[in-house]
């Protein structure tokens, strides 16, 4: 049989086919996706679940003139295959290759860049309003999963769309899963919607209409169609928000999907429409279907067996070290609570949940709620640990400021994926948390330079009961050092000196310490013996250590895996206020550059960032060559 996918490079090619050929295209697209991800790794289960939706949407709508927006977009690989990137897919998530998420600079078919959840309806509404203001009549379609629909932002957008009566189509991809199993009342609501798939006979329908529901529905509905829609939709939440609700429908029947989308496209309905499609995450690949996470994110794997090719290491990941240490503390202290936002396995709290199911709360994709929920717990004497990726904690910054810092509530923030994250690229990099937390009053901000330091920071945080604290740690495995006992704690605001040298001091904050050590070895061979200190704390600063280093050395270099405005900026401010620069001290601050660094191997990303050992050596050598002396301040204080 001729392979149809070979002839499809763009959606315009897809639209040349007959409707009865689309099941074959879907089958081939599913096979291609499995083959690609088996070689590259990445997100698989979500893409397998939207194969038919992808084909139907591009078949019916005139993309890219019609605008298609994918929420989160880890399910966008099939979309990429049929929108001009089929031959580039083996470069997925590699340096210079195809992004694992939609990216506007990559293709005109990627209407809106996304990797964080629940942004699709808001962005689609903005595009819809813009088109209306420009007197353009494009179709705007947002595809959002039931997990992403649990976030408040989605409902804010739907409420606005309904009020504006905007021309907008929202496809609810309901697979009963986001990354983990969905949680909360909304997931139960969707389960009720699913029950609407039952086909009622006329007699059964009449019984329902004349039951206790009848008064409620007949008061609101003027047509029998509206009455039946109210019953089938299990509560008409979407109708109450101003959406015309269609569904639930089989999200894997591509021919039926085409007919429904054709009807939606031709509809004269004056307002937004929601199409509720029931799909199966991991559909069509048995190992994914049987897996607990439906192969949400995978490494390279064997297609025939589904076995993933994982690197063997006896060194635990930072995430595992955090989870194991928190469990040990929770065995001693019944007040310790675990909180995460739809990332139990990513943060290690799935292990905590197995041990303490009543003390772990996955609040869904709702980081804002997670932070204020944790704040509420602290007011009753509990010790919540909010384990949230750095990039996702950004979504709750107002709550961190207003509900936690302002009230000096002792929420403990375990900030995973701090720094650069390799193949996930800039959307998931933890670049800004040092800056956005260190500016806040009442906060204690720590960064682990290895897994031993992480344990000590967790130990320390357990006893901090009068203010919020945060400890950040990177993605991946530790360095292989011996782990301390639970009794080993840090003195708040005190760093440490690892190597004593002369004239030059490196002041490290966080995970770049190993590169600092390598740089020191390189410089020793050149006759340069420098001091290395590990700050441990960005707030409060170890002022004594910093001033001692500044007064006893000619050059200080601070190093952190974060943006400008963070640790180095605070050190510079301290030295400036104390007048240390007046004495001619040379100071350099090594930070992440003022760019978003594209996906690549971690080693190459650190090279681009200028935070590898070679870059550290060059920074020091260039500073030593500089003869520029800071002019003394002649103004009287």
Task: Report if residue 201 sits inside a domain.
Answer: no
Is 481 a member of any domain? no
Query: What is the predicted pLDDT for the residue at 630?
Result: 42
CATH value at residue 114:
3.40.50.970
**What pLDDT sits at residue 181?**
55
Can you tell me the distance from the alpha carbon of 334 to that of 136, in angstroms, rounded to the nearest whole number? Answer: 60
591-602 confidence digits (pLDDT tens): 999 999 999 999
Average pLDDT over residues 13-26: 97
pTM for the predicted model, two decimal places: 0.87
- CA-CA distance, 118 to 144, in Å (whole number)? 7
Phi, psi of 222 (to 5 degrees): -100, -10
Phi, psi of 250 (to 5 degrees): -75, 115
258 and 337 in a single domain? The answer is no
The C-alpha angle 428, 434, 438, rounded to 5 degrees, equals 145
Q: In this model, does residue 227 exceed pLDDT 60?
A: no
What's the pLDDT at 92?
95
What pLDDT is attached to residue 177? 56
Residues 250 and 142 in one domain: yes
Residue 200, SS3?
coil
pLDDT at 230: 45
Does the residue 637 lie in any domain?
no
Do 527 and 610 fall into the same domain? Answer: yes
* In a shared domain, residues 156 and 283: yes
In angstroms, rounded to a whole number, what is the distance separating the alpha carbons of residues 203 and 119? Answer: 43
Q: Which of 254, 270, 298 is the last residue of a domain?
A: 298
* 343 found inside a domain: yes
- Parallel/antiparallel/unpaired status of strands 383-389 and 444-447: unpaired
Q: Is the predicted pLDDT of residue 194 greater than 80, yes or no?
A: no
Whether 491 is covered by a domain: the verdict is: no
pLDDT digits (tens, 9 = 90+) for 140-163: 999 999 889 888 899 999 999 999
Report residue 521: phi and psi, to 5°. -65, -40
Based on the structure, what is the number of domains in the chain?
3
In tens, the pLDDT along 524-577 reads 999 999 999 999 999 999 999 999 999 999 999 999 999 999 999 999 999 999
What's residue 213's pLDDT? 40
What pLDDT is stored for residue 193 in this prediction?
A: 47
Return d(Cα 552, Cα 573) in angstroms, integer.
18
294 and 334 inside one domain: no
Q: In this predicted structure, which of 1-15, 146-160, 174-188, 576-590 has the lowest mean pLDDT?
A: 174-188
Which residues have C-beta within 8 Å of that of residue 328, sequence separation ≥ 6? 486
Are 159 and 152 in contact by the 8 Å Cβ rule? The answer is: no
Q: Is residue 203 included in any domain, yes or no?
A: no
Q: Assess whether 541 and 464 both reside in one domain.
A: no
Residue 196 has pLDDT above 80, yes or no: no
Residues 398, 542 within the same domain: no
Per-residue pLDDT at 179 exceeds 80? no
Residues 370 and 289 occupy one common structural domain: no
What are 99-113's pLDDT values in tens digits? 999 999 999 999 999
First to last CA, the chain: 86
Residues marked active site are found at: 281, 367, 395
Same domain, 143 and 256: yes
Chain centroid to Cα 470, Å, comes to 18
Helix (H) or strand (E) holding 595: none
Whether residues 468 and 544 share a domain: the answer is no
Which residue from 350, 304, 302, 300 is spatially nearest to 327, judged by alpha carbons?
A: 350
**Residue in the structure block whose two tokens are 């009566």:** 165
Q: What is the C-alpha to C-alpha distance for residues 93 and 100, in angstroms, rounded to an integer?
A: 5
Given a cut of 60, whether residue 197 has pLDDT beyond it is: no
Distance CA 530, CA 521 (A): 10
Q: Is residue 225 part of a domain?
A: no
Flag whether 477 is in a domain.
Answer: no
What is the structure's pLDDT at 234?
A: 38
Regarding whether 285 and 365 lie in a shared domain, the answer is no
Domain of 417? 318-472
CB atoms within 10 A of CB 462: 21
Identify the CA nearest to 101 among candidates 125, 85, 124, 122. Answer: 85
State residue 259's pLDDT score: 94
| Contact yes or no for 483/507 (Cβ under 8 A) | no
């Amino acid at each position: 049989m001729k392979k149809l996918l070979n002839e499809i490079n763009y959606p315009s090619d897809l639209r040349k086919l007959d409707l009865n050929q689309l099941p074959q295209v879907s089958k081939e697209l599913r096979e291609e996706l499995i083959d690609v991800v088996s070689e590259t790794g990445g997100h698989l289960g979500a893409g397998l679940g939207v194969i038919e939706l992808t084909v139907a949407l591009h078949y019916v709508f005139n993309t890219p003139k019609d605008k298609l927006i994918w929420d989160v977009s880890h399910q966008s690989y099939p979309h990429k295959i049929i929108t001009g990137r089929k031959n580039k897919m083996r470069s997925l998530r590699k340096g210079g290759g195809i992004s694992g998420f939609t990216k506007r600079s990559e293709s005109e078919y990627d209407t809106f860049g996304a990797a964080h959840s629940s942004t699709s309806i808001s962005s689609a509404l903005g595009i819809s309003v813009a088109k209306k203001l420009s007197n353009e009549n494009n179709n705007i379609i947002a595809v959002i999963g039931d997990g992403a629909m649990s976030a408040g932002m989605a409902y804010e957008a739907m409420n606005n769309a309904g009020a504006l009566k905007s021309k907008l189509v929202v496809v609810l991809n309901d697979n009963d899963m986001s990354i983990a199993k969905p949680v909360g009342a909304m997931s139960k609501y969707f389960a009720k919607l699913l029950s609407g798939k039952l086909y009622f006979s006329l007699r059964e329908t009449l019984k329902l209409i004349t039951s206790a529901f009848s008064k409620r529905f007949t008061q609101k509905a003027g047509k029998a169609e509206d009455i039946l829609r109210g019953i089938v939709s299990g509560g008409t939440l979407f109708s109450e928000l101003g959406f015309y609700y269609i569904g639930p429908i089989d999200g894997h029947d591509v021919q039926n999907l085409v007919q429904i989308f054709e009807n939606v496209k031709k509809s004269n309905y004056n307002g937004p429409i929601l199409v509720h499609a029931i799909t199966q995450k991991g559909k069509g690949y048995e190992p994914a279907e049987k897996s607990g996470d439906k192969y949400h994110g995978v490494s390279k794997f064997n297609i025939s067996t589904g076995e993933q090719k994982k690197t063997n290491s006896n060194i635990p990941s930072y995430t595992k070290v955090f989870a194991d240490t928190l469990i040990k503390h929770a065995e001693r202290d019944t007040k310790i609570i675990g909180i995460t936002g739809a990332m139990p396995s990513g943060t290690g709290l799935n292990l905590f949940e197995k041990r303490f199911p009543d003390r772990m709360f996955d609040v869904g994709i709702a980081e804002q709620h997670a932070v204020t929920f944790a704040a509420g717990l602290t007011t009753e004497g509990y010790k919540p640990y909010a384990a949230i990726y750095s990039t996702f904690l950004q979504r709750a910054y107002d709550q961190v400021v207003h509900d936690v810092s302002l009230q000096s509530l002792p929420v403990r923030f375990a900030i995973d994926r701090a720094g650069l994250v390799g193949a996930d690229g800039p959307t998931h990099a933890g670049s800004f948390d040092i800056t956005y937390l260190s500016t806040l009053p009442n906060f204690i901000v720590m960064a682990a330079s290895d897994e031993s330091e992480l344990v000590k920071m967790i130990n320390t945080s357990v006893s901090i009961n009068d203010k919020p604290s945060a400890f950040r740690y990177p993605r991946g495995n530790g360095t292989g050092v011996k782990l301390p006992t639970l009794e080993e704690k840090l003195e708040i605001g005190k760093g440490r000196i690892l190597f004593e040298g002369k004239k030059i001091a490196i002041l490290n904050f966080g995970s770049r310490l190993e590169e600092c050590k390598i740089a020191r070895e390189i410089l020793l061979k050149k006759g340069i013996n420098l001091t290395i200190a590990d700050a441990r704390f960005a707030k409060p600063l170890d002022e004594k250590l910093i001033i001692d280093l500044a007064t006893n050395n000619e050059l200080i270099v601070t190093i952190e895996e974060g943006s400008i405005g963070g640790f180095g900026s605070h050190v510079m401010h301290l030295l400036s206020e104390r007048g240390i620069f007046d004495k001619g001290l040379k100071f350099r601050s090594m930070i992440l550059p003022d760019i978003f660094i594209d996906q690549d191997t971690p080693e190459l990303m650190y090279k681009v960032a200028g935070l590898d050992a070679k870059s550290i050596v060059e920074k020091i050598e260039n500073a030593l060559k500089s003869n520029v002396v800071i002019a003394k301040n002649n103004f009287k204080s």
